[in-house]
Structure 1
Amino acid sequence: MNQRSSRPTRLHTGPPLAPSPAVFQAIANVSSMGDRFELGVGRVEVGWHPFTDLLTDADVLEQRIGDVAERLGTAEARVAASILFQKLASRLCSPLFGAAVAHGLLVELDPGRVHWQPAPDGVLPLRTTDLAGWEIRDPERTAEWLYHTVMPGLLEPLAEAVQGVVKIAPGLLWGNVASSLAGTARALARIRPDLAGATLGLVRELLDLGHLRDKGELAEPAPGHPFFVRRSCCLYYRAQDGRKCGDCALDDPGARRDRWARAVRESQGAR
């Protein structure tokens, strides 16, 4: 594998700025693909909280972790912290990944403009008051640019904040991000099979960058059907009604292969 720098890329030296209407339309289109891709855009009202509170206020973050722990029925804060981080990583990465693949746009989320809202299922909806985007005219650098739009300003500070309130291994957290990205790629390839090739190409490149490198392996037992096997565990199996996830490093390899084969057959209309 090529060793790549994890230093941020200055976007104004990269792709050309995209017209705002195109950026907003792209996010609206991607958001319609399903909950994991949803990102609200516009004015925030009562009930929405600054994303930066999760990064800078330990009491706010501990409350959110406590809420997830209660919902999961666990007394282990690290289990709840892991699941909260993974859900937020998916919410932050999925819309941007979808915009890059489906619309050729690199969309940047300014953490100062992002807000979250409590939800009964523990998955925090996100909303941003504004967006900026760039046209991708150099596809070979898409993964690098996308990585640097979500890591330095969003996920790295969030990981540091989580580790500040709960003792949890950084490799576990970055494994959660890798797993979330692989799940996003799988969902997008299923929704838009015409984009499966570009989707898999991008996620493979992302999984070879910085914190995501060596966090798991992406398999493709059938064309357009990606499955991820991570090298760490998100700890969900330790929740009250938890189980091993489909990409869990602790899962039996034979059972995993059977599950992959069944998923491929079902997606093709066979039983």
Structure 2
Amino acid sequence: MDLDQELAALAPLGGFFVLRTGGAPSSALPTLAQAYENRPTEVYGNSITFRTEKVTAALRAPELRIGASVFQQGLAARLWSVALGCAAAYGQVPDLDPQLLHWNPDASAPDDLWLSEVRPLPADPATIADIVLHRHLEPLAAALRAHYRVAPGLLRGNAASALVATARQLGAPPAVRALTDGLLAHPLLAGTGTLTGTAFRRRSCCLYYRVPGGGVCGDCCFTRPPRSSPRAASG
């Protein structure tokens, strides 16, 4: 089934999968290309730092890098969800070119995204890696590292964790499992953790345990919250 312009098959899958399309959003909403390039916007200023500060405040986190980590993992989950959801529903994926994908940095979770043009691409690991890893998560990681002390390994672990969680949410059918395995073998994700069935154990920590009332995530490298921040383990 070819992609429809509304990507209607994503709606039943839930909020992380839905992608608004068509028309032109408000001119106040930056594209993700603008965000990654640290280009200031009239409403939000630097949208990367705006979003990080919003997430950090919402979590009552003691450090901005914790908010940066949670923000990055949430956006990664949104991008994987659209890509894998379309792959499962259509056998194709939309071109999520950062210049076509608009973003509301002030929205609540999940991130509010709007694709201005639906252009179909093949749903294979190489294409999805190019769409999500190279065109989004690499420049996002670079933008976050420019502002906060976030370890590259932590961000790669977040990306892998979000990928596996997305596949699990879809029920990990054979086609999605094959895509997930192929993507986890990509140089940017290889070595981030161990996948056994649908269970993933990552080799890094997203720092969520440092949020007041937070604990370790189900796939964390720790089995209980450390007493102090182990920087090496989150790198």
TM-score range, shorter chain: 0.7 to 0.9
Give secondary structure in 1 for the equivalent of 2:93.
strand
Q: 2:62 aligns with which of 52, 66, 75?
A: 75
Give secondary structure in 2 for the equivalent of 1:36.
coil
Give secondary structure in 2 for the equivalent of 1:99.
helix
Question: Are the counterparts in 1 of residues 94 and 121 from structure 2 also a CA contact under 8 Å?
Answer: yes
AA in 2 matched with 1:49: P
AA in 1 matched with 2:132: V
Question: How many percent identity over aligned positions?
Answer: 34
The aligned length equals: 217
Which consecutive unaligned segments of at least 5 residues does structure 2 have? 40-45, 225-235
Give the number of the structure whose residues are more often helix, by fraction. 1
TM-score, normalization by structure 2: 0.85
Question: Are the counterparts in 1 of residues 50 and 105 from structure 2 also a CA contact under 8 Å?
Answer: no
Give secondary structure in 2 for the equivalent of 1:49.
coil
Question: Are the counterparts in 2 of residues 39 and 128 from structure 1 also a CA contact under 8 Å?
Answer: yes
Spell out structure 1 runs of 4+ moving beyond 4 A: none
The higher radius of gyration belongs to: 1
Q: 2:97 aligns with which of 99, 102, 110?
A: 110
Q: CA deviation at 1:48?
A: 2.8
Question: Are the counterparts in 2 of residues 232 and 249 from structure 1 also a CA contact under 8 Å?
Answer: yes
Structure 1 partner of 2:155? 173
AA in 2 matched with 1:66: E
Where do residues 1-271 of structure 1 align in structure 2 (5 Å cutoff)? 22-24=2-4, 27-43=7-23, 44-45=25-26, 48-57=29-38, 59-119=46-106, 121-135=108-122, 142-189=124-171, 196-220=173-197, 226-251=198-223
The 1:213/1:148 distance shift into structure 2, 3 A limit, reads same
TM-score, normalization by structure 1: 0.74
Give secondary structure in 1 for the equivalent of 2:149.
coil
Which consecutive unaligned segments of at least 5 residues does structure 1 have? 1-17, 137-141, 190-194, 221-225, 253-271
Two-structure CA RMSD over aligned residues (Å): 2.0
Distance 1:78 1:127 in 2: 26
The 1:64/1:119 distance shift into structure 2, 3 A limit, reads closer
Distance 1:26 1:207 in 2: 29
AA in 1 matched with 2:22: G
